[in-house]
Chain A
């Protein structure tokens, strides 16, 4: 990737994924650390819980496109799997002390794209993903997202109950389409949400490139992290020009810090520095 390509390559998505270097946020005692040059670009590892968080996978996205008449071949699921492989490979050293297993893998909402229906392919892919994740952890937690209306049926096949949110040790994880009224939420020091698929456009002269990114800011006295979507097909919503729908972000994100998730994680200052 660092080598000058003989022919222009449009973006990282076009390259075979195994050549990518990943990066990861690692959560440790209240501060976000960046471990450069390694592992997953889109997941979040919470060290003190030994938990991996991924969000907004949107399985069935291309199938939904197919149904709308966009007849593109499907690469989504295979890309999700290779991205996950990257995460696992990167986190191997972390897991040595845990017998190679995560305590929990938390899917933070919108595992599946379509609201109402479940196609054969979605059944297969969701189960395959749950099985893969189960083999890597002691427990898979699925947090309900706004797209997950019918997911319960599939998850039930593997005896997984969907939860509205997850909390432990002052950390509160929810999808983010509504603000929970729970005590656990009020007491939490850190909240992690998805839902918004944040991305950031980086501009120089007429050149513009958009990257997925994490956002970190404050919400009601808590630290808040907004995770990018794990959906490899779409980039997401540009924080520099979008108006957000999540009630968590109603008051704007200008003071939020941006961390671009590419081959590794890059701190890009606050949103307002980029405007």
Chain B
């Protein structure tokens, strides 16, 4: 049973279980137990599974460790401390591991100081960076607490000698569960946890998470299943113990009639004011390139504050070197920086000292992320988290205002946990097979105990086994491709080949190598950034594109390097690359839609401006300036066209330069729109037998087509039960499928990064994703890795299940679809048309396309 623990334990109860030494140490450092401790410590002491969800700085980590330290100190004092691992601690970041080690070693030293002797309790970190000698030292003297990453845990589980030390683990602490649950690293970990549980049946699982929802599902993810039903787990929800001071701010009073330059001036002046009136500020941007841009602007505009000899500003994001990030973290802890600009890397709980302000530039797109980011300020539980969200356009303003409302009213958007991922399954089965022989029935049962594979079908499982045992290849070549030994008669699988262990150790993991193309200024070695392989494909000589806020003209490609010219004055000819964009969560999107509906009602009932303004003020927690802007924005839309809502999808038609557009206002987030737009485009493309260009944002999508087609009708024509079939066809030739297939093939160990002692660096000897996917299609269109790539695209990148529900709502008319002709884009449509991520739904055969282009070129040449 998964249930919420609503009443914390009393202080005396905790005091009773703590060893005198631990008790003395604790109260020498803290005045009292924190709320998370009162909720969690006793459960962990009793070896109950538990999920603690609390903001950063809420003493989560010590909650996780207090009982464990207590137990180890007690055992040591009683002289019964054994040479084995008592607790495994897993966090997604290597940097965090080191922090944790320090945070454990310090109390241990202090306790030893109180005891006046060594207690012999060992703590060790094992990650990809751990040296072989350190690893063998761990075998000789096993750490009582092993700190590791999901990847290193999987390696340890496949290592004969280490496994012996893991046979009586009593606790497994998973930190930052929220950062793992929503991606394939979490899926991978969920199976590793089952493997560990099989070795140590008595092990209790402890999950530590920042603000996230839904907690019951996250708890289920943490603990997995026991004979088809969830293992029991207590949930301690202390997400909102910290006080928050949140505001949405516009840099200028009026967001419409402002030139780009003026806006930039106002923005950076505002940021500088905020930074200068606080001690230490963290600014979060949504992309890495924006991070660099903000720093450059601040340095240029306020050299006295940010470009003096003493470093006061720094960048912290995933593309920077480890050393750089460490030094920034160190400077922060020492309080020597005034401001740090980060993308996502500082969201997790790395110790960065005291922060008194967090600025979010642009919408963070989910309530949970907003709270995680803002939670970085006021690091102690008792201090106030102060966050300012700066918005730069009117859609952003409405979105952030609604986000603020949800945050204040504690409505957190739900995350999506990937399930039945066949690529990760292949990697895990391989790992299991190289460590021991196992019967496939036992293996199937093991895998299904993971929450992520609870519904895995036997046929999918068998297909993965067939892939791993090389059944898709003729017998003579099978030795190259088969990864595991499988005897169908006895039903056992096991290791195959001497290299299998090395291959596993050096290729483990689920984070894809992106196939990036480096962008350099032609004739120099100056690197200005990276673009995706697929983006390069779309560039031709002379194209102007934006990268990191600057314009570049594409000149030529040289292998995996794109050479560009930096001095261009033309406008971009090709839309920017959006692969880094964070999607708006569905729940938050629906909240914005609901606000739109309430606003529409006011306008339809002819409410006065004052009445509507007071409604906005009351509903949204915004200042009067912002309320005014929101009022004007909605009024313009209402007068020009109609206000689309969560219950009304509005289709606006207009044409521009001979192109017929239909803008569909479906404010359900990018993941839903990605699916919906392609499905609609597919229906249209089929009916007119031509490719259809489409563009999508969080707020809606557009399609461009030749003939007059009724897009609203196409939307209604899509049946919810047929959507899956339509989408499988619609994504078959999409760029995204090729790209994701490469990632899946890599996770399933079909493409190895390290092989025969050679590291295959992405970029060198690059095989195009096209070649890869074509080769696999020839094995079978339903080859398990290809199937997984489709699933990943439809369920993880896009959100097909929600799109299906939406179509059901259209079918039973709880959501209306309405068409209007507008002649030009309405205020709400502007951003959808201008800032969409564009793609093309290919329906035309490649040869037919060629023939049409051939006719066109003949026409062009004839004129010369």
List residues of A whose CB falls within 8 A of some B CB. Answer: 1-2, 4-5, 7-14, 65-75, 201-211, 233-235, 238, 240-243, 260, 262-263, 266-269, 273-275
Contact = CB atoms under 8 A, between A and B. Distances in A.
B774 A206 contact: no
B542 to A, nearest CB: 7
B541 interface: yes
Given A2-B848, A68-B765, 19 more contacts: A5-B845, A7-B732, A10-B732, A12-B847, A68-B760, A69-B752, A70-B750, A71-B749, A206-B538, A207-B842, A234-B768, A234-B771, A235-B770, A240-B540, A241-B540, A242-B558, A243-B557, A269-B861, A274-B857
B838 interface: yes
Contact of B779 (A4, A69, A73, A242): A73
Interface stretch (B27-35, B170-178, B473-481, B812-820): B473-481
A263 B853 CA distance: 14
B830 interface: no
A189 to B, nearest CB: 26
A75 B5 CA distance: 59
Quick one: which of A9, A10, A274 has the most chain B CB within 10 A?
A10
13 contacts: A1-B847, A4-B845, A10-B774, A14-B777, A67-B756, A68-B755, A73-B477, A203-B538, A203-B540, A206-B538, A233-B771, A242-B557, A273-B857
Interface string B473-504: 10001001100000000000000000000000
Contacts of A243: 556-558, 563
A4 B848 CA distance: 10
Interface of B: 472-473, 477, 480-481, 537-542, 554, 556-558, 563, 689, 691, 693, 704, 729, 732-733, 749-756, 758, 760, 765, 767-768, 770-779, 838-840, 842-843, 845-851, 853-854, 857-858, 860-861, 864
A73 B733 contact: no
Contacts of A11: 770, 774, 846
B859 to A, nearest CB: 10
Say whether chain B's binding surface is mostly helix, strand, loop, or mixed.
Answer: mixed
B689 A4 contact: yes
Contacts of A1: 845, 847
Contacts of B776: 72
Contacts of B772: 70, 72
Given A14-B774, A69-B754, A263-B847, A207 B691 contact: yes
A151 B558 CA distance: 28
Contacts of B755: 67-69
Contacts of B771: 72, 233-234
A55 B753 CA distance: 31
B847 A206 contact: no
| Shortest 8 CB-CB contacts between residues of A and residues of B | A69-B755, A69-B752, A206-B840, A72-B775, A207-B840, A269-B861, A8-B732, A266-B854
B767 A241 contact: no
A201 B277 CA distance: 54
Quick one: which of A2, A12, A201, A241 has the most chain B CB within 10 A?
A241
A269 B857 contact: yes
Nearest to B472: A73
A211 B850 contact: yes
B751 A206 contact: no
A241 B853 contact: no
A42 B777 CA distance: 23
A268 B473 CA distance: 40
A272 B768 CA distance: 26
Contacts of A75: 775, 778
Given A1-B845, A241-B540, A73 B775 contact: yes
B693 A205 contact: yes
Contact of A202 (B689, B758, B849): B849
A82 to B, nearest CB: 13
B540 A275 contact: yes
A243 B563 CA distance: 10
Nearest to B850: A262
A20 B689 CA distance: 22
Nearest to B562: A241
B844 to A, nearest CB: 8
A67 B756 CA distance: 8
A52 B864 CA distance: 34
B547 to A, nearest CB: 16
B522 to A, nearest CB: 10
B481 A71 contact: yes
B541 A8 contact: no
B853 A206 contact: no
A178 B554 CA distance: 29
A203 B540 CA distance: 9
Contacts of A9: 845
Contacts of A74: 477
A224 to B, nearest CB: 21
Contact of B554 (A70, A73, A201, A241): A241
A105 to B, nearest CB: 27
B857 A12 contact: no
B539 A71 contact: no
A65 B477 CA distance: 15
A8 B556 contact: no
A269 B845 CA distance: 22
Contacts of B556: 241-243
A251 to B, nearest CB: 14
A14 B778 contact: yes
A262 B689 CA distance: 21
A65 B767 contact: yes
Given A11-B770, A74-B477, A69 B854 contact: no
Nearest to B738: A10
Contacts of B704: 205
Contact of A269 (B481, B538, B779, B860): B860
A274 B778 CA distance: 33
Contacts of B749: 71
B854 A12 contact: no
Contacts of B750: 70-72
Contacts of B838: 206
A1 B849 CA distance: 12
Contact of A71 (B480, B538, B857): B480
Contacts of B563: 243
Contacts of A240: 540-541
Nearest to B474: A73
A137 B177 CA distance: 69
Contacts of B751: 69-71
Contacts of A263: 847
Contacts of A73: 472-473, 477, 481, 775, 778-779
A5 B846 CA distance: 11
A70 B746 CA distance: 9
B480 A241 contact: no
Given A12-B847, A266-B850, A208 B767 contact: no
Given A243-B558, A269-B860, A8 B729 contact: yes
A71 B752 contact: yes
Given A10-B777, A73-B775, A207-B849, A238 B557 contact: yes
Contact of B847 (A13, A238, A262, A267): A262
A205 B840 contact: yes
Contacts of A241: 539-541, 554, 556-557
Contacts of A266: 850-851, 854
A32 B746 CA distance: 45
B674 to A, nearest CB: 15
Contacts of A13: 774
Nearest to A3: B845
B558 A12 contact: no
Contacts of B538: 203, 206, 208
Contacts of B857: 268-269, 273-274
A204 B477 CA distance: 42
Nearest to A254: B541
Contacts of B777: 10, 14
A62 to B, nearest CB: 8
Nearest to B771: A233
